[in-house]
Amino acid sequence: MSRIFIAGAAGNIGSALIDTLPDKAEIVAGVHSPEKVEAVSAGGVEARAFDFEDKDSMVAAMAGCDRLFLVVPMTEKMTRYGRLAVDAAKEAGIGYIVRSSGYGASADAHWRLGRESGMIDQFVEDSKIPFTVLRPNTFMQNFSTIFAASIKAGVIALPEEDYKVSYIDVRDIAACAARLLHDNEGYTDSVYALTGPHALTLADVAETIGAAAGIEVRYTPIEEEAFIEGLDRAGVPEWNRNMLVSLSRVVKLGMMGNVTQAVEYLTDTPARSLAEFAADHADAWR
């Protein structure tokens, strides 16, 4: 039986992919600690610990697998992690990679996070392993996790003015990956930009979430300096803070509002709307 190695299986997209793939016996979940091995294994999925810093640990974890789902954590070493993961995939005999990257990523992108993500995509392409790159826009799930406490208090405060973003539900990214990992014929050596069905301002987001949760939520635009101060107070590492600031600047360049039909093209099902997402996650804000 062919098997799929999911790198970062405990993360947002990895855990959604495990939920989406119907045959748990074909999954090998790659996680970063013995505690996560235990937690994932409790769900009936084989889990193996590996370290993005250690190529040999990745080669060992990928043993017996022929397909790889690769998502790399957003850290200062992410480009190095991506390079080591691709090298490990070659050594482990992986025959196909689905790489989850970022919207607008490119090895020559003018903004840092897009460039670093794009460099990893380039490593995948240069490996000569058949691949498909998915470049999803900002996750709807950020509103039910990172920003949930603020939304409970009735406020979304970000420095993005009235610019639009075509937010995507992580479950739709997982559905695209699952389809490709089972049948990639005609989709190899390709790149797909994944978005939700609508381009929305944060005022639109606040209204939609408020209606779903039965609470009043307002969007309050803030200056970039105030955003940075808030990230510093929250203990966000400097590199990650700089990436988040650059992302907000890209939004204000109008680069994140395009809508594609790639989710429906790959899965035959339209991408979920923010209203659908909000209805499913309303308890996060109550």
**Model pLDDT for residues 72-88, shown as the tens digit of each residue:** 999 999 999 999 999 99
CA–CA separation, 121 and 119 (whole Å) = 5
- The string of DSSP codes covering 17-60 is HHHH-S-GGGEEEEESSHHHHHHHHTTT-EEEE--TT-HHHHHH
Q: What's the pLDDT tens digit per position in 112-122? A: 899 999 999 99
Average pLDDT score over residue span 258-264: 98
pLDDT at 183 over 90: yes
Average pLDDT over residues 172-196: 97
Q: Quick one: which of 249, 133, 120, 273 has its CA closest to 189?
A: 133
- Report the pLDDT value the prediction gives residue 43, as an integer from 0 to 100: 87
Q: What is the mean pLDDT of residues 36-46?
A: 91
Q: How far is Cα 63 from Cα 69, in angstroms, rounded to an integer?
A: 14
Say if CB 98 and CB 67 are below 8 A apart.
Answer: yes
Other C-beta atoms within 10 Å of 277: how many? 25
Average pLDDT over residues 127-156: 96
pLDDT of 20: 97
**Partners of 2 in the β-ladder:** none
Q: How far apart are CA 120 and CA 178, in angstroms?
A: 21
* Res 207: pLDDT: 98
Helix (H) or strand (E) holding 245: helix 238-251
Dist CA 283 CA 213 (whole Å): 7
Give pLDDT, residue 1: 66
Q: From CA 89, how far away is CA 253, in angstroms rounded?
A: 36
| Cβ atoms 103, 138 nearer than 8 A | yes
With beta carbons less than 8 A apart as the criterion, state whether 185 and 250 touch. no
What domains can be seen in the chain, in order of their start residue?
A: 4-137+169-194+260-265 (3.40.50.720)
What pLDDT score does 7 carry? 96
pLDDT digits (tens, 9 = 90+) for 1-31: 679 999 989 999 999 999 999 999 999 999 9
Q: Against a cut of 0.85, is the pTM above it? A: yes
Of the candidate ranges 3-17, 32-46, 116-130, the one whose mean pLDDT is the lowest: 32-46
- Secondary structure of the chain: what % helix, strand, coil (to 5)? 45, 15, 40
Measured between alpha carbons, how far is 147 from 48 in angstroms, rounded to an integer?
31
Q: How confident is the model at residue 34 (pLDDT cuts 50, 70, 90)?
A: confident
DSSP bridge partners of 98: 69, 132
Average pLDDT of 84-101?
98
Strand 131-136 to strand 4-7: parallel, antiparallel, or no bridges (unpaired)? unpaired
Q: Phi first, then psi: what are they for 125, rounded to 5°?
A: -65, -45
The token pair that represents 137 in the structure block: 């826009």
Q: How much of the chain exceeds pLDDT 90, in percent?
A: 93
